[in-house]
Structure 1
Amino acid sequence: MGETIRFGVSLDSDLLERFDKICEERCYQTRSEAIRDLIRKELVQKEWEDQNQEVTGTLTLVYNHHQSDLAQKMTEIQHQALDIIITSLHVHIDAHNCMEVLVLRGPVKDVRSVARRLTSTRGIKHGKLSLSTTGKDLS
């Protein structure tokens, strides 16, 4: 971790007021923490532009478990991606719907490919890939 540098930022007063409201809503103790968080989010987003960069993320899937052959198709895809899928969590939402959360790690192109294959499977009601990082280059 590098040394801490102080710098000034000039903002329109209305923009600063809106930013302060966000800081309060999200329980940031200081503006600096909020700005650091915004910068980290951008850096994580940038990591995901390099198709060969190793990243982590989660894939959340919601589906009707009564859908014919869906569980079998999902399992087949997941078994083909054992090198990308670290773990999974299965939740019974109600009598018909389930949620599966997968933790993924690998090159961007492979993580995105697994996510696309699963979310596009017939019977998946909703799929969302949440981008994250290995944290190697963040302080």
Structure 2
Amino acid sequence: MQRLTISIDDDLAERFERWSQRKGYDNRSEAFRDLLRRELGDEQIQFDPQSPCVATLTYLYDHHERTLSLRLMDMQHDHHDLTVSSMHAHLEHDLCVETVILKGPAGAVRDFANAVLAERGVRQGQLHLVPLHQV
């Protein structure tokens, strides 16, 4: 393990200390390592479309939108190589939420998510990508 020494201004150091305490870190080194891992992992899956990742795609949709439920299910079946699992829940009379767990190359996962979110009747959603291998 290497030891790094960094200099940061007092305000930033205090903010980092408060942040790491709120997050429950026992020491600044582990907090810094996690921040660095997250940043490097985000960069990896952003710029390397073949980088393996796992992801959750969560979206809200109107289940009364004509054929939308069927179209969404067909999309998952057509991409069975990416789709690991899904969960569906009814929120209101017309509103459902679905979360899909995905696994595969970051570019393919992102393309699938964009196609789902662009479907007529999908109100909004969000994709959360996590690198599969530690950076």
Fold equivalence (TM over 0.5): yes
Q: What does the per-residue CA deviation read over 1:41-77, in whole Å, with 9 as the maximum and x for residues that have no partner?
A: 1121122111122221111111121222110111111
Q: Which residue of 1 aligns with 2:27?
A: 30
Aligned residue type for 2:104: G
Superposed CA offset, 1:54-105 (max 9, x none): 2211111111212221101111111110001111111222332211111111
Do 2:57 and 2:102's aligned partners in 1 also have CA atoms closer than 8 Å? yes
Deviation of residue 119 (structure 1)? Answer: 0.6
TM-score for the superposition, normalised by structure 1: 0.88
Does 2:11 correspond to 1:45? no
Unaligned 5+ segments in structure 1 are none
User: Where do 1:11-22 residues align within 5 Å?
Assistant: 11-22=8-19
Structure 2 regions of 5+ residues with no counterpart? Answer: none
Residues matched between the structures, number: 134
Using the aligned pairs only, state the percent identity.
Answer: 34
- Amino acid paired to 1:15: L
CA root-mean-square deviation: 1.4
What's the TM-score once normalised by structure 2's chain length? 0.91
The 3-state SS of whatever aligns with 2:24 is coil
How far apart are residue 35 of structure 1 and its match? 0.6
Distance across 2 between alignment mates of 1:67 and 1:29: 50
